[in-house]
């Protein structure tokens, strides 16, 4: 079977079985081509909730499938690969968070959407990288415990000097953490006309050297709308390739060849094929208690972030 034959089969089966395929933007291009929706985690969950299909197949990592289930508990949500977790989302459990919160009893606990459903039940509000600033700025409490990513937290803190922040300092995304300021300097030397676009999950010294800092969607929109022709991309390297497809008249360079999320890249077109046939994949189940608790945290995000 060729790639295009497998893609045609996936599309045929998903229509026959009334399956909605979601693909996070960090998936390979051949997977994006068979998806009903492509985007970042929260956008995917919202699109799935508005879609009439009863089964949702998540080509992404576990917390993204959980977010779909929280928003659409009536749907069957299938994670294509049960091994696709997110090291950042899973680095804190509820006991660990409870211990951290003991040190900050009068702080509002804000979690990144990249957390487990269970952890969200113990937080006051969650944020996406694109809406983080807007949401945190509206919180009445000026003391913020931000988990699990201190880099995203640092980026928000710099823009909200009126608030006091506490972080779990050992947290963060191992993929974005690999990018260094030296690599930014070398990439700029190699491509002096290029703008540097990075994700706020990068270290502060990398963010400091960037021309634009934003979510994956923010980076893609910026590059597409910009009059500039060359860009150095400081987020998962799949975005370099997607942008090259979207903007063939521009040039995109990876900030580092190491900015690869091995969990996201676990998923192959073959996995999507076997999952859509019902042979593989894991159905996400969450207790009513977890769904209710995590939804409260997400609803607060919607109330403040729109």
- The Cβ-side half-sphere exposure at 22, using a 13 Å CA radius, reads 33
Instruction: Name the minimum Å distance from CB 267 to ligand SF4.
Output: 11
> In degrees to the nearest 10, what's the CA dihedral of 42, 47, 49, 51?
-170
Q: CB burial class (10 A; 0-12, 13-18, 19+) of residue 40?
A: buried
Instruction: Name the minimum Å distance from CB 281 to ligand SF4.
Output: 18
Instruction: Name the minimum Å distance from CB 206 to ligand SF4.
Output: 14
Instruction: Name the minimum Å distance from CB 149 to ligand SF4.
Output: 8
> How far is residue 165 from each of residues 58, 99, 108, 125, 156, measured CA to CA in Å?
34, 17, 10, 15, 9
Cα 199 from chain centre: 11
Whether the bond between 148 and the residue before it is cis, its omega within 30 degrees of 0, is yes
- Which of 38, 31, 36, 37 minimizes the C-alpha distance to 6? 31
Instruction: Name the minimum Å distance from CB 177 to ligand SF4.
Output: 9
Q: Name which of 223 and 261 has its Cβ closer to ligand SF4.
A: 261
Q: Name which of 72 and 263 has its Cβ closer to ligand SF4.
A: 263
Binding region for ligand SF4 (CB under 6 A): 61, 86-88, 114, 173-175, 236, 261, 263-264
> What phi and psi, each to the nearest 5 degrees, are found at residue 129?
-65, -30
């Amino acid at each position: 079977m060729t790639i295009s034959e497998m893609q045609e089969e996936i599309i045929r089966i998903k229509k026959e079985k009334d399956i909605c395929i979601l693909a996070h933007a960090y998936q390979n291009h051949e997977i994006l081509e068979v998806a009903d929706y492509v985007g970042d985690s929260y956008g995917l969950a919202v699109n799935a909730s508005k879609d009439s299909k009863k089964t949702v197949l998540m080509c992404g990592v576990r917390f993204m499938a959980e977010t779909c289930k929280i928003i659409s508990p009536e749907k069957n949500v299938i994670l294509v690969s049960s091994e696709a977790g997110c090291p950042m989302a899973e680095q804190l459990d509820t006991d660990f968070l409870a211990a951290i919160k003991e040190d900050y009893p009068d702080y509002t606990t804000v979690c990144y959407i990249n957390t487990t459903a269970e952890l969200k039940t113990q937080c006051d509000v969650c944020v996406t990288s694109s809406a983080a600033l807007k949401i945190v700025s509206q919180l009445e409490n000026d003391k913020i415990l931000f988990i699990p990513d201190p880099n995203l937290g640092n980026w928000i803190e710099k823009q909200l000097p009126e608030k006091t922040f506490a972080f779990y300092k050992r947290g963060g995304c191992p993929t974005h953490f690999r990018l260094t300021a030296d690599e930014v300097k070398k990439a700029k030397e190699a491509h002096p006309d290029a703008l540097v676009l990075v994700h706020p999950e990068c270290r502060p010294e990398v963010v400091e050297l960037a021309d634009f800092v934003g979510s994956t969607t923010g980076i893609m929109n910026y590059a597409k709308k910009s009059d500039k022709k060359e860009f150095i991309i400081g987020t998962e390297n799949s975005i370099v390739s997607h942008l090259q497809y979207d903007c063939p008249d521009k040039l995109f360079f990876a900030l580092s060849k190491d900015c690869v999320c091995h969990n996201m890249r676990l998923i192959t077109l073959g996995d999507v094929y076997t999952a859509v046939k019902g042979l593989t994949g894991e159905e996400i189940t969450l207790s009513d208690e977890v769904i209710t608790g995590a939804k409260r945290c997400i609803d607060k995000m919607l109330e403040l972030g729109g």
